[in-house]
Amino acid sequence: MALRLLRHGLGLDRPAPMWRHHDLAPSYDVVIIGGGVHGLACAYYLAQDHGITNVAVLDKSYIGAGGSGRNTTILRSNYLTPEGVVFYDESLKLYSQMAEEFDFNVLFSRRGHLTLAHTDGAVRTMRRRAEVNRLQGVESWLIGPNEIKRLCPALDVSEHPRYPILAALYHPPGSIIRHDAVVWGYAAQADRRGVHIHQHTTVTGIRTANGRVTGVETTRGFIKTGAVLNATAGWATTIADMVGVRLPIVTYPLQACVSEPLKPFLDVIVVSGSLHVYVSQSDRGELVMGAAVDPFASYSLRGSLAFAEGIAGHMLELFPALRHVRMLRQWAGLCDMTPDYSPIMGLTPVEGFFLDVGWGTYGFKAGPISGRCLAELIATGHTPPLIFPFRLARFYERDLVGEKGAASVGH
C-alpha cells in the first residue's frame, strides 16, 4: 500500500497517453482537417479497413473541442427519408459494437426514443416517419398516451398542459453514449495504427495545381499531400473557400445544458418538436437537454439567458415535478445547416479535396458511418452507395434529400 502510494505520488503509475505527439511530417498520403468524431473515424477506417496509415488529423484546438464534445449524445435512425434512415442505422450499429471493437467502455446505453406529437399535423408526420422507418427495417411505431406514460411515468400526459401529448413516435433502438469516450476511442485506435494526430495545428491554406490538391499550409509548416478531407463544422465554408469550392451552408449556434444530478427516473430519450426540447438522463444522473438552433446565423459559442429561460419553461410543461431542479451548466456548438437539412459528403470539382460537412444538428450520430464511407471513397476512388445521395452535386441536379421533418425539434 505504502509503495503504491509512493509510486502514485511520484507519478510513476500514470496510465500511458491514449495518443502520441508527433512532429509534423513533410508529407502524408491523406490529411484530415477536423479532429472530431468524423475526422478521427475516417482516419481509423483508412488504417483499419484499407491499410492506409500515413495519415494526419489536424485540429486547430484539442480533439473533440467542436461539435463532438458539445452535442447531447443522442443516437437514432428514425429519419424521414429512406436514404437518411439506412445511413443513420448503419451508424447506430457501429456505435453499438464500438465498446467491443475498441475494448474500451464508451457507455453506450440503449434507452428507446420518444418523439412526442402535440398536434394533428405532428401525428401525421410521425405516422409517415414510422412507415418509412419500418420499410427500411428500423423499429419505429406510433404509440398513444397510455403507452407513453408506461415508458415515461414522469411525463404529464393529461389533457391539462397547453400542448397535450396526443401520441409519440417510439423508436426502441434510440440510444445515448459518452461522446468524449467516442473521440478518445477513435483517437487511440487510429494512433495505434500509425495515424498522426496534430492538435493545435491550424490550416491556413490549401495548395492546388491543375485542378488537384498538392498540399496544406498550417501554422506548423507545409504538408505535401494529394488528398484532403474537410471534416470540420463551423469552419467548413472557410476551408472549402481555400480551394474555391462554394458550399450551400449557413452556420447557427445550438445551445444545450445539463441539470444537477438526480436519482434515475428517466429511462427513455424524450423529444418534443412543438416545445423545442429534447432530454435524456445521463449515467451520472444529470438531465442533458437541448433545444432548437438559435434563430440567427452566428459563430458564437456563448450560452444565453433566453435559451435557459425557454428550455426551463418547456421542460416544466412536460415534467412539472422538476420545478426545483437547478441547471448546472450550459454551452453552445456550431451547426452548419444546408438547404435540405442533409449533410454533404463525397467528391468536389477539385481532385483530391473531399467533403464531410453540413451536418446541421445530426453530426454526432453519423460519425462512425460517414468516417467509414469517406475512408472507402478516399482509398478506392469509388463513392459508396450509402453516401451517394448526399453528394454536393445534388444541389445542381435538383436531387435534394429533405430531412427537415426528422429534426429533433423545429429549426
**Residues interacting with ligand PYC, by CB under 6 A?**
72, 74, 76, 278, 290, 361-362, 407-408
Query: Residue 6: how many CB atoms within 10 A of its CB?
Result: 11
> What is the nearest approach in angstroms of ligand PYC to the Cβ of residue 60?
23
- Residue closer to ligand PYC by CB (options 102, 362) is 362
- Residue closer to ligand PYC by CB (options 218, 280) is 280
Is the Cβ–Cβ distance between 226 and 216 less than 8 Å? no
- Residue closer to ligand PYC by CB (options 183, 213) is 183
> What is the nearest approach in angstroms of ligand PYC to the Cβ of residue 85?
13
What kind and span of H or E run contains 240? helix 236-241
- Residue closer to ligand PYC by CB (options 29, 267) is 267
> What is the nearest approach in angstroms of ligand PYC to the Cβ of residue 207?
36
> What is the nearest approach in angstroms of ligand PYC to the Cβ of residue 265?
20
> What is the nearest approach in angstroms of ligand PYC to the Cβ of residue 286?
16
- Residue closer to ligand PYC by CB (options 270, 345) is 270
| Cα 29 to Cα 379: distance, rounded to the nearest angstrom | 10
- Residue closer to ligand PYC by CB (options 87, 362) is 362
> What is the nearest approach in angstroms of ligand PYC to the Cβ of residue 273?
10
- Cβ neighbors of 26 (< 8 A, separation 6 or more) are 222, 223, 224
Chain CA centroid to CA 189, Å: 19
User: How many angstroms separate the Cα of 218 from the Cα of each of 85, 215, 222, 225, 320?
Assistant: 38, 10, 6, 13, 52
> What is the nearest approach in angstroms of ligand PYC to the Cβ of residue 249?
17
Of 252, 258, 253, the closest CA to residue 312 belongs to 258
- Residue closer to ligand PYC by CB (options 218, 251) is 251
Q: What is the full DSSP assignment across 50-84?
A: H----EEEE-SSSTT-SGGGTS--EE----SSHHH
Of 171, 9, 37, the closest CA to residue 1 belongs to 9
Residue carrying the nine cell digits 504538408? 223
